[in-house]
Structure 1
């Protein structure tokens, strides 16, 4: 029996609007004809309220991606080039049932992929730490148990952000090549996604990190769409020209062996902007910031390549992508013992402790703990 059968439509609309969970709503619509009928009657209102109530899609930049993907689902849409498409996206699309269900489907798919990616990266981090011999670490021991703590909103946001952009680019490129027949010049402009999407060069590595994990999950992709034979780049994408294209996915459907929802959860609420969340850069206003361990790994890798015994181990990003290095927040890495926390004033910590002020940046001399040596231990090497 459909448990929603006797509820009035207004109540069901309110229930759907307050769930804020794409996969949860999609599963509910499949299970309940009553819910599906109410969604069909008010698709625009429900999908807009869902976007605004979800802790990730309510962010303006993700909200825009949702609506851009909604534009692409309109079969009658014709865009002769990128400029026309961007002009079209300046206004929200007209969302009927088909377009709303498409956004819901993409949002649910992204939610499942995000949960998969986060779980795999955390499992990889824990396994790597477990395999480090205790006697190879100087200073305080690693607190491996802290690697398994729940995902923070910041970590989830970074993963979802990457997935929404990868979906947007891949759907747009398919439309440009298969529906609209753009010429080569327009395709080159499209492939310079980071440029016209105004993605900062450091944030771009998150796209490649999530793409690497999706590849390991069995998804097919073109690392460089204009070069189908290209392989995953070993170096970080940071120093690459900004017009470098991002990975293209013909499909985001997981193989049957990976498609179970065993690791599916709703996105956590965004934290309030407090002294604690601000100091650790965990509040939403810091969502585009880069934590100490990310910048320090990059700078340390560059520095080691310029020594007399040039070492390139830290500049090979392939293992670090699988470990989610650019996804994790500074508190997780600090609590494990893999990173410091940059601070110019006293910082309160979630465990009740605090850190004294320290006037130092990643460019300054090494801290008391040799974090670089610990990073080498993670990839089974010794620091030169």
Structure 2
């Protein structure tokens, strides 16, 4: 449901809240959360520089000041959170979740995830593979009917998850206003069936194919016998204790005081609540005409809503066996495709080596929406950034870079690239 940047594209050029991007996450071999010496262990351990708590991530540090200055200048609305080995070290909330009703953002506010929710479909596929209900070598035709012969016989689940399917999707009707879950499901299933095989399966590409995500979700539904949304709710959100997370519908987005509204900047410079102004769309060339509120519910395989603490719970559950046995977690996060000198593609998430350590990260965006979660497995850090307002001068990538610099010491300009 959002604009998802691909490998090797300049994210700083693409991302001004509304035109955002997928920015990376993961590897095999290192635990997703460093075991350390226990929860709340925030002091330097002396065993490794990676185990020391960066001073700049403490309240009052450079990262905290940076985000506060953005908020004071009207350039940031949302929540930032840093967790170190299960202990919240920094949690800040700025701006309004619903200006009309005077509801402020807070730690318990749920934000639209856009592409930051895409890894859920990869986790779901691997859960079913772990149970022996499917194989990553299964072709599309093994589980689904009605697809073109070349797609059904040549494209397999590994291709879908690694972004190497060779598929191309038809243009999306960004003006359409959906009125039900069934309508959303039917539309995106039909679009997936209209996808064309334009490349050689297994070959890396530089474009994101929406059909890869939708077809993966359809396979989850076919194998599990339930809707994608219900599967994720039961087998990811519920397992992780993500009580503030769900695939909320537009009526809930409008009325639930715990959900942040997206504030979208228009061509004339004015800012509107996208949910309350479905007739208006973004002027950004990367998401031209889009309005996230037109979706009744996020497309199968994409999006969802989550709070910052819930995303920390998800990060920990990836590594402690809650979601996947360790070998299957390694399958999820292992480097599959080289994208750059230090960046690689995994399943549903790019990954990057930053200043000698892995950074796992996934970002997403739409008009008025920006979301990112980052895992630093060598040091036990998890960072979350959730926003609900467009900014012309500051991108989500800029804030990710500052976060990564605080934790790894890497220059902010290169932390989220690749």
TM-score, normalised to structure 1, is: 0.26
Higher relative contact order (CA 8 A, sep 6+): 2
Over alpha carbons, which structure has the higher Rg?
1
Decide which structure has greater helix share: 1
TM-score, normalised to structure 2, is: 0.24
Decide which structure has greater strand share: 2
